[in-house]
Structure 1
Amino acid sequence: MNAILRAEGVDLFYGTHRAVNGVDFSLKRGEVAAIMGSSGSGKSSLLYCLAGVLPPTCGTLTFDGLRLSSLNDDELSTLRRERFGFVFQYGELLPELTVEENAALPLRLAGQRKAPAHAAAGEVLGRLGMTELLQRRTSQLSGGQSQRVAVARALVHRPDVVFADEPTGALDSVNASAVLEEFLRLARDQGTAVVIVTHDASVAEHADSRYTMTDGILK
Structure 2
Amino acid sequence: MINKSEVLSAKGVDLFYGETPAVLNADISLGRGEVVAITGQSGSGKSSLLYCLAGVLPVARGEVCFEGCSFGALDDEKLSAIRRERFGFVFQYGELLPELTVEENAALPLRLAGQRKAEALAAAGEVLGRLGLADLRQRRPSQVSGGQSQRVAVARALVHRPAIVFADEPTGSLDSANAAAVLDEFLSLARSQGTAVVLVTHDTQVAARADHRYTMCDGVLTAQVREAS
Which TM bucket (shorter chain)?
over 0.9
Which residue matches 2:202?
199
Match status 1:162 vs 2:165 = yes
- How far apart, CA to CA, are the structure 2 residues paired with 1:4 and 1:131? 32
Which residue matches 1:214?
217
Which residue matches 1:16?
19
Counterpart of 1:49, as a letter, is C
Q: Give the drift of 1:208.
A: 0.4
Which of 25, 28, 35 is the matching residue for 1:25?
Answer: 28
- How far apart, CA to CA, are the structure 2 residues paired with 1:85 and 1:77? 12
Q: Give the drift of 1:65.
A: 1.2
Match status 1:38 vs 2:41 = yes
Number of residue pairs matched? Answer: 219
- How far apart, CA to CA, are the structure 2 residues paired with 1:108 and 1:70? 28
- How far apart, CA to CA, are the structure 1 residues paired with 2:134 and 2:18? 47
- How far apart, CA to CA, are the structure 2 residues paired with 1:42 and 1:3? 23
Structure 1 gaps, min length 5:
none
Counterpart of 2:200, as a letter, is V
4+ runs deviating over 2 angstroms: none
- How far apart, CA to CA, are the structure 2 residues paired with 1:6 and 1:62? 5
- How far apart, CA to CA, are the structure 2 residues paired with 1:131 and 1:151? 14
- How far apart, CA to CA, are the structure 2 residues paired with 1:130 and 1:74? 34
Structure 2 gaps, min length 5:
223-229
Which residue matches 1:151?
154
What is the TM-score normalised by the length of structure 1?
A: 0.99
Query: What does 1:1-219 align with in structure 2 at a 5 Å threshold?
Result: 2-219=5-222
- How far apart, CA to CA, are the structure 2 residues paired with 1:153 and 1:12? 29
CA shift digits 1:89-137 (9 cap, x unpaired): 0000000000000000000000000011000000000000000000000
Q: Give the drift of 1:3.
A: 1.3
Counterpart of 2:107, as a letter, is A
- How far apart, CA to CA, are the structure 2 residues paired with 1:139 and 1:57? 40
CA shift digits 1:67-107 (9 cap, x unpaired): 11111111111100100000000000000000000000000
Q: Give the drift of 1:2.
A: 2.9
Counterpart of 1:103, as a letter, is A
Counterpart of 1:18, as a letter, is P
Identity over aligned residues, as a percent? Answer: 73
CA RMSD, Structure 1 to Structure 2 (Å): 0.6
What is the TM-score normalised by the length of structure 2?
A: 0.95
Q: Give the drift of 1:205.
A: 1.0
Instruction: Give the secondary-structure state (helix, strand or coil) at the position aligned to 2:170.
Output: coil
Q: Give the drift of 1:23.
A: 0.1
Counterpart of 1:66, as a letter, is C
